Amino acid sequence: MSTKTVWTLSELAEMLGAELRGDPAHRICGVHTLTVAGPDQLGFLANPRYMGELEHTRAGAVLLRPADAEGYGGNALLLANPYLAYARVARLFDQTPRPAAGIHATAVVSATARVDASAAIGPHAVVADEVVVGPGTVIEAGVVIQARSQVGRDCRIRANAVVYHDCVLGDRVSLHSGAIIGSDGFGFANDAGRWEKIAQIGRVVIHDDVDIGANTTIDRGALEDTIIHQGVIIDNQVHIAHNVVIGAFTAIAGCVGIAGSTRIGAYCVLAGGVGVAGHLEICDKVQFTGMTMVTKSITVPGSYSSGTGMESTVSWRKTAVRLRSLDDMARRLRELEALVAKIQPPAEPV
Amino acid sequence: MSTKTVWTLSELAEMLGAELRGDPAHRICGVHTLTVAGPDQLGFLANPRYMGELEHTRAGAVLLRPADAEGYGGNALLLANPYLAYARVARLFDQTPRPAAGIHATAVVSATARVDASAAIGPHAVVADEVVVGPGTVIEAGVVIQARSQVGRDCRIRANAVVYHDCVLGDRVSLHSGAIIGSDGFGFANDAGRWEKIAQIGRVVIHDDVDIGANTTIDRGALEDTIIHQGVIIDNQVHIAHNVVIGAFTAIAGCVGIAGSTRIGAYCVLAGGVGVAGHLEICDKVQFTGMTMVTKSITVPGSYSSGTGMESTVSWRKTAVRLRSLDDMARRLRELEALVAKIQPPAEPV
Amino acid sequence: MSTKTVWTLSELAEMLGAELRGDPAHRICGVHTLTVAGPDQLGFLANPRYMGELEHTRAGAVLLRPADAEGYGGNALLLANPYLAYARVARLFDQTPRPAAGIHATAVVSATARVDASAAIGPHAVVADEVVVGPGTVIEAGVVIQARSQVGRDCRIRANAVVYHDCVLGDRVSLHSGAIIGSDGFGFANDAGRWEKIAQIGRVVIHDDVDIGANTTIDRGALEDTIIHQGVIIDNQVHIAHNVVIGAFTAIAGCVGIAGSTRIGAYCVLAGGVGVAGHLEICDKVQFTGMTMVTKSITVPGSYSSGTGMESTVSWRKTAVRLRSLDDMARRLRELEALVAKIQPPAEPV
């Protein structure tokens, strides 16, 4: 959260490296969509599809590609990537509380933990033996960091998240509330029908600049570590099982589940609800559309899907019944083809 | 939780507006299914399918539709909606602890928070700066309410739930344990392969009488608010992304995921495991059956589905293989139709 | 966590009941995969598929089936089930912190709770009125156990998990962080469009030796109890609705959802992402492959599946379109068969 609340267009232009067109002294104290933004707010046109909104916007200024600025008479900040510029501007108006450095009186911090003086430890947080917390890091209320785990610099661990023992978080890692890092992987040996637990003695290692959503869980490795590489972004309610490796800059949307020992490449995108089976290798730059069931390794970059399209329930029921006789249909089609092939086509009329 | 533990049938009849048939002085101290209920318990027949159980029930009295009461000789409370009556009666026997008003000694409540004197704040709860907590509201152990959020009257926030800053909860809102309200939406701008976080500066606004299940997450808006309208009920482990709007009295079952900026109408029902893509508009009174993948907007009320029926794994494997050649089958069927059309049917026998 | 850190092969052989081949005095201080294990670590060959790794392993000794030991010259511990032996050995090297018995100064424990002297209650944990905590049980930081619940002996409740009131946990039950036991089932009666909450007055009863993953939720029963039988293992992010019964030794992988009143048999395996509709009966020894949608009861043990195979998104789109005309294709195929049947096959060439 910034303490400055008003910016002039010239200040913003300089910050963003934008070409300013219009009044450099115009004051901006917020950012919003083109339809909602008022005269003291910045709007942005990231998707040419919304070009029509430019005409009616009341925004005090607009972030625009030079090519889209033709015919727009208002204040404008021209730059190549308005969406990225919006990301940078939004940060200025973020009201997320920024706690002061120091350890709250109710926090329980082990005498053997090393907490940087510039870090903030919130109410009722627990920082166990030999934990390391880096400079500028914020550990919010109710967070538990268990023995020997390391949290880098400028991390933000939101309220009630948990990091189990011996895990490693790099710098600028963000964990949202309810995220659980380092819980036991689902490893059991079967002993004549009974399940015997396998102690999970690997760790979770999270590299720099990783963002992890609310109630997401990442299990510790069985023997090897579970590894999340640099710049990975993970949404809410994602389940990442033991020994999984996620390549750098991969994006994982909500409700995805990734089973044990699977390796996902870099620059992949997993849309919401995707399920990935265990022990697979997914190469770099693969996209999965929503709810895809991934049961095979992938070696060719590109987009992959599964599932059936939505219909009215009435017609879906028919489709579902037919599907079960698809194998039969295929066989009958083949027989019919053979039969017809044997029938001489009638002679053409003379 | 009520402190009264025994009711006479006449008391219950009056409370429910039911017609009493039988002994008005009969004492009831519980409610159960027809098969289990004993002589001091109330049973209920909500579904005519279970009519057969009426014959053998030992229940001290039964909630019944008048039409279903024919031939039932025991004590009965006759009313139009026995299931609704059961809902009202069950409340009498609810043993959920009801903490006394006041702030627990271990709670951390900011000096700038305004907590109504009739509210209860549990052990180790954290109520941050400028938070407002209304009359009769219960904030249980370990709950964190971050800066400037407002919680209305008669709400119940169960243990270890989290409400981020600047969110609004109306009256009689229930959050179950582990529910996270106002975590950041999954908004990132791509900068040459790297993800740049977009500060999420909208709020979550939850209207009156909303019920939210355990470990459900509702992200704050990017710019606009995420809005849950009046009377919505949401089960466990549901993920609601940023900018989503849920219309009044819609029901969302467990494990549903709704992607960003989608608007769901009023009086909809989403069964378990449904996934809804982003930026869609779903009109009022739509039902989705379990695990439906919703990828298009819907303008016509009714029931919608997707997915394939369960088979033995052996036959499912065949179906799955055939499915991948479905396009080919369709083409061959069309060719065969053309071929057969060219063949003159043989002359009818004279 | 064990305090002993080094074992000789003869000690391990005795512990595991294995036949030792090689140097009985060889010292082992860890366990790892065949590829990673070094001279002071134990490796194991559980799956003959990895036989090739045996040749190059640097492991100080290997857990092996006698039949797989042919031609392996290194130290070996021979036994029938190397994977089970690995499970037992891994426990020796588990570094999970083991807190000392006693109640942390910051824990809030009701005067009417009965906590065994050998149990450990962590920082900021809350143990409410009339709760019972058995010998050897560990309740970690931030855990909340609500009124009258019972936790057996040698249980481990990880940080920030929650057990609602009146629930019962047997002996050696493990709850991972964020797990919620006993939240309200999703029960509402519809009153002219509005939802009226049905108080959930059943309990959750968890039998001995049950393992429950991070952020898993198990709702309390509406009237009857929700029951998890002995030896069941449940992974992360699983949702188990009210009145569900899970039979003994069943395994439930991540992201599974089971709707209300369904009964799952014993010795079943539900792979990740499976969804089970409500009010079903699944017999013993049923397996569901990943993401199966279960909408019917099952009376025959075996493996069941649903869903479609993954394709490139381009070909998947074609398949999805064709699927919607499957009913039409089936009808046309039947018509064509009838038409062809009417055409006399040409006489065989003489």
Residue C65: both structure tokens together: 């089936």
What is the extent of the structural domain holding A285?
102-304
Amino acid at B92: L
Cβ contacts of C299 within 8 Å, gap of 6 or more: C281, C283
> What ranges make up the beta strands (E) of C244-290?
245-246, 251-252, 257-258, 263-264, 269-270, 275-276, 281-282, 286-288
Q: Residue A322's closest CA among C32, B149, B225, C327?
A: C327
Phi, psi at A87, each rounded to 5°: -55, -40
SS3 A272: coil
In this structure, the answer to whether residues A282 and A161 fall within a common structural domain is yes
Q: What is the pLDDT of residue A343?
A: 77
Q: What is the pLDDT of residue B145?
A: 98
In this structure, the answer to whether residues B184 and B318 fall within a common structural domain is no
SS3 C89: helix
The predicted-structure confidence for B158-206, as pLDDT tens digits, reads as follows 999 999 999 999 999 999 999 999 999 999 999 999 999 999 999 999 9
Rounded CA gap, A7 and A90, in Å?
12
Q: Please state the domain count of chain A.
A: 3
Instruction: Establish whether C207 is a catalytic residue.
Output: no
Query: How many C-beta atoms lie closer than 10 Å to residue A255's C-beta?
Result: 32
Please list, residue by residue across A69-98, b when 16 or more beta carbons sit within 10 angstroms of its beta carbon and e when fewer do. beebebbbbbbebbbbbbbbbbbbbeebee
CB distance B93–C165 less than 8 Å?
no
Cβ contacts of C54 within 8 Å, gap of 6 or more: C34, C45, C62, C68, C72
Q: What is the pLDDT of residue B349?
A: 55
In this structure, the answer to whether residues A68 and A177 fall within a common structural domain is no
Rounded CA gap, A146 and C160, in Å?
12
Phi, psi at B302, each rounded to 5°: 145, -170
Contact partners of C by the rule of 3+ C-beta pairs under 8 A? A, B
In this structure, the answer to whether residues B217 and B168 fall within a common structural domain is yes
Which residue, C304, C319, C344, sits at the end of a domain?
Answer: C304
- A81-95, A260-274, C316-330: range with lowest mean pLDDT: C316-330
Residue C350 pLDDT > 70, yes or no? no
Least CB–CB distance from B333: residue in C186, C319, C332 = C332
Residue B348 lies in a domain: no
Rounded CA gap, C218 and C240, in Å?
5
The predicted-structure confidence for A105-156, as pLDDT tens digits, reads as follows 999 999 999 999 999 999 999 999 999 999 999 999 999 999 999 999 999 9
Rounded CA gap, C8 and B335, in Å?
74
In this structure, the answer to whether residues B149 and B290 fall within a common structural domain is yes
Q: What is the pLDDT of residue C349?
A: 56
Rounded CA gap, A231 and A246, in Å?
10
The predicted-structure confidence for B10-59, as pLDDT tens digits, reads as follows 999 999 999 999 999 999 999 999 999 999 999 999 988 888 899 899 99
The predicted-structure confidence for B93-113, as pLDDT tens digits, reads as follows 999 999 999 999 999 999 999
CA distance A61 to chain C (A): 40
Q: What is the pLDDT of residue C340?
A: 87
Give the alpha-carbon dihedral of A323, A325, A329, A335, to 10 degrees: 160
Q: Tokens 């381009």 correspond to what residue?
A: C314
Q: Binning pLDDT at 50, 70 and 90, where does residue A49 land?
A: confident
Residue C250 lies in a domain: yes
A3 touches chain B (CB under 8 A): no
Least CB–CB distance from B97: residue in C147, C292, C294 = C147
Residue C344 lies in a domain: no
Q: What is the pLDDT of residue A348?
A: 56
Window C:124-153, CB contacts with B under 8 Å = 124, 126, 128-129, 142, 144, 146-148
Contact B254, B213 (CB under 8 A): yes
Half-sphere exposure of A209 (CA within 13 A, CB side): 13
Q: Is A283 left (phi over 0), alpha (psi -120 to 50) or beta?
A: beta
Q: What is the pLDDT of residue B344?
A: 59
C176 touches chain A (CB under 8 A): yes
The predicted-structure confidence for A272-321, as pLDDT tens digits, reads as follows 999 999 999 999 999 999 999 999 999 999 999 999 999 999 999 999 88
Rounded CA gap, B200 and A62, in Å?
19
In this structure, the answer to whether residues A291 and A149 fall within a common structural domain is yes
Residue A161 lies in a domain: yes
CA distance C47 to chain B (A): 23
Residue A128: both structure tokens together: 């166990």
Q: What is the pLDDT of residue B1?
A: 45
Q: Please report, for the domain that includes residue B79, its CATH number.
A: 3.40.1390.10
The predicted-structure confidence for C287-311, as pLDDT tens digits, reads as follows 999 999 999 999 999 999 999 999 9
In this structure, the answer to whether residues B87 and B40 fall within a common structural domain is yes
Residue A60 pLDDT > 50, yes or no? yes
Rounded CA gap, C321 and C317, in Å?
6
Q: Residue A26's closest CA among A59, A53, A52?
A: A59
Q: What is the pLDDT of residue C49?
A: 86
Residue A187 lies in a domain: yes
Q: Binning pLDDT at 50, 70 and 90, where does residue C346 land?
A: low
Residue A248 lies in a domain: yes
A320 touches chain B (CB under 8 A): yes
Rounded CA gap, B36 and B26, in Å?
18
In this structure, the answer to whether residues A152 and A281 fall within a common structural domain is yes
Window C:24-43, CB contacts with A under 8 Å = 31-33, 36
What DSSP string runs through A153-191?
A: TT-EE-TT-EE-TT-EE-TT-EE-TT-EEEEPP--EEEE
Q: What is the pLDDT of residue A1?
A: 45
In this structure, the answer to whether residues A286 and A184 fall within a common structural domain is yes
In this structure, the answer to whether residues A168 and A231 fall within a common structural domain is yes
Cβ contacts of A311 within 8 Å, gap of 6 or more: A319, B304, B305, B306, C324
Rounded CA gap, B242 and A31, in Å?
17
In this structure, the answer to whether residues B269 and B321 fall within a common structural domain is no
Residue C346 lies in a domain: no
Q: What is the pLDDT of residue C342?
A: 84
Pairing of strands C27-28, C7-8: antiparallel
- B6-15 long-range contacts (CB < 8 A, ≥24 apart) are B7/B92, B9/B61, B9/B75, B9/B77, B12/B42, B12/B61, B12/B77, B12/B89, B13/B77, B15/B88
Q: Residue C5's closest CA among C98, C100, C95?
A: C95
Phi, psi at C28, each rounded to 5°: -120, 130
SS3 A232: coil
Rounded CA gap, A76 and A93, in Å?
19
Residue B350 pLDDT > 70, yes or no? no
Which residue, A68, A92, A116, sits at the end of a domain?
Answer: A92
Tell me the CA end-to-end span of chain A in Å, nearest whole number: 89
Q: Please report, for the domain that includes residue B199, its CATH number.
A: 2.160.10.10
Q: What is the pLDDT of residue C1?
A: 44
- ipTM for the predicted complex comes to 0.95
In this structure, the answer to whether residues C67 and C193 fall within a common structural domain is no
Contact C301, B309 (CB under 8 A): no
Residue B2 lies in a domain: no
Mean pLDDT of chain A: 95
Q: Which residues of chain C neighbour A239 with C-beta distances below 8 Å?
A: 235-237, 254-255, 272
A272 touches chain B (CB under 8 A): yes
